[in-house]
Amino acid sequence: MITEKGKTFVVSTEHTSYMMTVLKTGHLVHLGYGPRINEIPDPAQFLGPEPAIVGTVCYWDDDHPGVIPTNLALEYSAPFRGDNREAALVVDYGNGATSLDLLYKGHRVYEGKDISSPISLQPEDGNETLEIELYDSATRISVTLSYTVFPCSDVIVRSAILENNTKNDIVIKNIASMQMDIPSDGWTLYSYDGAWARERYEHRRELQPGITIIDSKLGFSGNEHNPLIYLENSKGEAYGFNLIYSGNHRELVEVSPFGKTRVMNGINPYGFEWKLAPGEYFTSPEAIMVYSKNGREDAALSFHSFINEFIVSGKWRKKERPVLLNSWEGCYFDFDEEKVYHLAECAKELGAELFVLDDGWFGKRTDDTKGLGDWYTNRDRFPNGMEAFAERIRSLGLIFGIWMEPEMVNMDSDLYRAHPDWIISHPKRRPLPCRHQFILDLSREDVREYIHDSVALILNETRAGYIKWDMNRAVSDLYSFSDENHPIGELLHRYIFGLYDILGRLKKEFPDVLFEGCASGGNRYDLAMLMFMPQTWASDNTDLYDRVSIQEGTLSGYPLSTMGAHVSASPGHQSLRVSRIDSRFNIAAFGVLGYELDVTRLSEEEKNAIKDQIAFYKKYRKVFQYGEFRKLRISDNQRFWYTTLGKTTIALEIQTLNEVHTGRNDRLYLPIAEDGKMYRISARKEYIPSSFLGDKSASYGKNTTEDFVAEVSGTILREYGLVLGPQFTGKEFQDSTRILGDFGSRMYVIEELG
């Protein structure tokens, strides 16, 4: 709901309100963002008398000596007009001049939302939008800020549209998607950072005066810093921000000398500029934001439901996703048709529903130095062609899925030999390689056509039901050989929009195909990719211990349904860590489950264990993919994950290292258990291989975990915890002895009774 009185605005979601007002000087200022209020506040009660600030800062004019731009909580800012903080909008409108007065000109409230960008979220019934135009009378440049609310959601969607009403070209140097000046300091910033194989680890920092920047310069949203951030204060209030964009992004937080905290996000100005001719406009990517008085975990749940409802679209929106087996870690490049067929046969026996043929099926691609770009079947490996192979997979009763990396090319490929000018590279430099590959220039129409046609051909020929769309490098040597001659500062943004153009077309033409985004694992895990591809491969690292951090970080902003998580071999190919197959499953089950190992070489016991895992996962698939994810940290060594849907919760107790002779019984907690309700708890049975117990195997005498069933009240389950059997402690086994081991875990199904 959006309400207004005079020039005071309240943008309300189900549980939150965002308030702004226009000062007499025309500045649009932020009043507060917090729990919902059903009134229009008197701005004076939020702003109070103008504080006395003296010294070197500029004031507005002699009629308004108390209006100090650098101390206002501005909704959007520009440089060199008294605000000394980082500016949301930097426009060169002539000879480097950038100063602007962004003052209120007008506003409108309407049902629906702006869709002027290819990645604008689609309008939904119940959308309401407030647009406020800020105008600089000296140049006639105007920027329109947009605030949209969605039905039954606490997320506010924001964007900024810049219009060039001048008579000359202007150049955008920076255009933030949103700015919010929180009228207080003392906030803690949470960001999700890493690199290949350790994506989205959560980091926290107490903010001090000055600027903190989280950004990507990789050309893509990147694995180094995700666009997701949170601010939390000591009262436990949290603000969450994310950006619907897959290119370079920047999240900037600035604590001012006067106790205010500015937050903005948008396209990273690094390497970016955009020429706007008279009469043209530029729409920023949309930003989403959320407030919660119960911390960032609660805020994350608002993001989760928003993504499931409004970001993911098409056939796979809110649909259960198939359990897959992917050929990569089981075969890498070493396979022929029969080998992968046997893998698929075995996967089917175990209960998988989708077989994904990963890298190595096309051109001369027998290793990663060659073949990328040549999207025709390697007939040495598949003598009867891919169409015939896909048919064989389907006749096993499996969906056929295929890997492609359409944005890239190896120099050793027919494509590169024919079109050396199609890659992003500088005419005077040797292009820097990365995994022996180079990036095709998607700002060019001929390149986009080639990519679209290659993918469409494979999908048509094979009738694949799934495609894994990979992208394995960072950008370098920014330059385009296109004869359209756009400024190089526009290239990365044009690239990303070129990608959206291809994906948009493919999504329309192949509405049933499930797209999974992948970029060396999680190098492009962002909201815009999720608009085209409902799920993303979270990380090439499938190690169960590292995955705890990777998946927790990912789930801080993205729902379970979007996150691919696989069970792979032991010792793990990234960590060499040894682990039990059920411990690996427990972690991978919190997401979209897959397997990525040579299942044909497993023991019969391990195969049976996988059969049980997949059957269990299918039974609770909705809970694993669409439940509300929560977590509870008991100590550095023990934590719980939960996913809850309706009356069912799956709880996972995760242990880092086995501690000996603690004399302690672990307890199972459910923080959302309710007073006056009863809960039935049962442990999922796990397979304990005799190799895991070694000499102790005979005295244990069985190869599964203990039976555990209990009923307990909500109050006990929430406040005191349900006591569990003791862990193995170096002596004899009893029926109740629990074996978790290092990096072990135990899964419990908790049903609310009645």
SS (H, E, C) 65-134: CCCCHHHCCECCCCCCCCCCCCCCEEEECCCCCCCCCCEEEEEEEEECCCCCCCCCCCCCCCCEEEEEEE
Phi-psi region of 595 (alpha: psi -120 to 50; beta: other; left: phi over 0): beta
User: Segment contacting ligand DGJ (CB under 6 A): 185-193, 423-431, 457-465, 518-526?
Assistant: 518-526
Give the nearer residue to ligand DGJ in terms of CB position, either 250 or 468. Answer: 468
In order, the DSSP letters of 704-733 are BPPP-EEEEEHHIIIII-EE-PPBP-SS--
Give the nearer residue to ligand DGJ in terms of CB position, either 400 or 640. Answer: 400
Q: How far is the CB of 470 from ligand DGJ (least distance, A)?
A: 5
Q: How far is the CB of 404 from ligand DGJ (least distance, A)?
A: 10
Q: How far is the CB of 166 from ligand DGJ (least distance, A)?
A: 46
Give the nearer residue to ligand DGJ in terms of CB position, either 190 or 537. Answer: 537
Q: How far is the CB of 509 from ligand DGJ (least distance, A)?
A: 24
**Where do the DSSP E strands lie in 533-683?**
535-537, 563-568, 592-596, 628-633, 638-645, 648-655, 667-668, 678-683
Cβ contact 511:314 at 8 Å: yes
Which position among 83, 114, 470, 582 is part of the footprint of ligand DGJ (CB under 6 A)?
Answer: 470
Element (H, E) at 385: helix 385-395
Q: Is 359 in the site for ligand DGJ (CB under 6 A)?
A: yes
Which position among 75, 131, 136, 358 is part of the footprint of ligand DGJ (CB under 6 A)?
Answer: 358
Q: Is 511 exposed, middle or buried (0-12, 13-18, 19+ CB in 10 A)?
A: exposed
Q: Is 497 in the site for ligand DGJ (CB under 6 A)?
A: no
Q: How far is the CB of 468 from ligand DGJ (least distance, A)?
A: 6
φ and ψ at 110, to 5 degrees? -145, 160
- The answer to whether residue 470 is catalytic is yes
DSSP symbol at 140: T
- CA torsion through residues 179, 183, 185, 190, sign: negative
What is the spatial distance between Cα 23 and Cα 183, in angstroms, rounded to a whole number?
16
Binding mask 670-689 for ligand DGJ (x = CB under 6 A): --------------------
Q: Is 518 in the site for ligand DGJ (CB under 6 A)?
A: yes
Give the nearer residue to ligand DGJ in terms of CB position, either 407 or 686. Answer: 407
End-to-end CA separation in angstroms for the chain: 36
Residues 525-554 that bind ligand DGJ (CB under 6 A): 537, 540
Residue nearest to ligand DGJ (CB): 359
Catalytic residue among 83, 215, 540, 612: 540
Structure tokens at 519: 């970029």
Q: How far is the CB of 713 from ligand DGJ (least distance, A)?
A: 46
Give the nearer residue to ligand DGJ in terms of CB position, either 114 or 596. Answer: 596
Cis peptide before 571 (omega within 30 of 0): yes
Binding mask 601-630 for ligand DGJ (x = CB under 6 A): ------------------------------
Give the nearer residue to ligand DGJ in terms of CB position, either 537 or 743. Answer: 537
Give the nearer residue to ligand DGJ in terms of CB position, either 76 or 537. Answer: 537
For the chain, how many helices (H) and strands (E)?
16, 38
Residues 130-189 that bind ligand DGJ (CB under 6 A): none
What is the spatial distance between Cα 648 and Cα 667, in angstroms, rounded to a whole number?
19
Cβ contact 404:359 at 8 Å: no
User: Segment contacting ligand DGJ (CB under 6 A): 50-58, 293-301, 486-494, 515-523?
Assistant: 515-523
Catalytic residue among 83, 441, 470, 612: 470
Residues 321-340 that bind ligand DGJ (CB under 6 A): 328
Q: How far is the CB of 403 from ligand DGJ (least distance, A)?
A: 6
Three-state secondary structure call for residue 748: strand
Cβ contact 273:161 at 8 Å: no
Which position among 521, 534, 627, 741 is part of the footprint of ligand DGJ (CB under 6 A)?
Answer: 521
What is the spatial distance between Cα 560 and Cα 625, in angstroms, rounded to a whole number?
5
Residues 389-408 that bind ligand DGJ (CB under 6 A): 403
Element (H, E) at 401: strand 399-404
Largest Cα separation within the chain, whole Å, is 90
Cβ contact 517:223 at 8 Å: no
User: Segment contacting ligand DGJ (CB under 6 A): 23-31, 339-347, 457-465, 513-521?
Assistant: 513-521
Q: Is 76 in the site for ligand DGJ (CB under 6 A)?
A: no
Which position among 129, 437, 520, 649 is part of the footprint of ligand DGJ (CB under 6 A)?
Answer: 520
Q: How far is the CB of 383 from ligand DGJ (least distance, A)?
A: 23
DSSP symbol at 14: S
Give the nearer residue to ligand DGJ in terms of CB position, either 363 or 521. Answer: 521
Q: How far is the CB of 356 from ligand DGJ (least distance, A)?
A: 9
Quote the radius of gyration of the chain (alpha carbons, Å).
28
Q: Is 297 in the site for ligand DGJ (CB under 6 A)?
A: no
User: Segment contacting ligand DGJ (CB under 6 A): 248-256, 335-343, 516-524, 623-631?
Assistant: 516-524
Alpha helices of 232-376 — where are they, by DSSP H?
295-306, 328-331, 337-350
Q: How far is the CB of 536 from ligand DGJ (least distance, A)?
A: 10
Give the nearer residue to ligand DGJ in terms of CB position, either 43 or 521. Answer: 521
Residues 187-206 that bind ligand DGJ (CB under 6 A): none
Structure tokens at 66: 């108390």
Give the nearer residue to ligand DGJ in terms of CB position, either 102 or 593. Answer: 593
In order, the DSSP letters of 159-213 are EEEEEE-SSS-EEEEEEEEEEEEES----EEEEEE--TTSTTEEEEEE--SEEEE
Number of shown-chain residues binding ligand DGJ (CB under 6 A): 11
**Residue 230's closest CA among 261, 196, 267?**
261
What is the spatial distance between Cα 157 and Cα 405, in angstroms, rounded to a whole number?
31
Q: How far is the CB of 523 from ligand DGJ (least distance, A)?
A: 8
Count of other CB atoms within 10 angstroms of residue 207: 17
Give the nearer residue to ligand DGJ in terms of CB position, either 328 or 748. Answer: 328
Give the nearer residue to ligand DGJ in terms of CB position, either 358 or 752. Answer: 358
Q: How far is the CB of 594 from ligand DGJ (least distance, A)?
A: 10
- In the complex, the residues that contact ligand DGJ under the rule CB under 6 A are 328, 358-359, 403, 470, 472, 518, 520-521, 537, 540
The set of catalytic residues is 470, 540
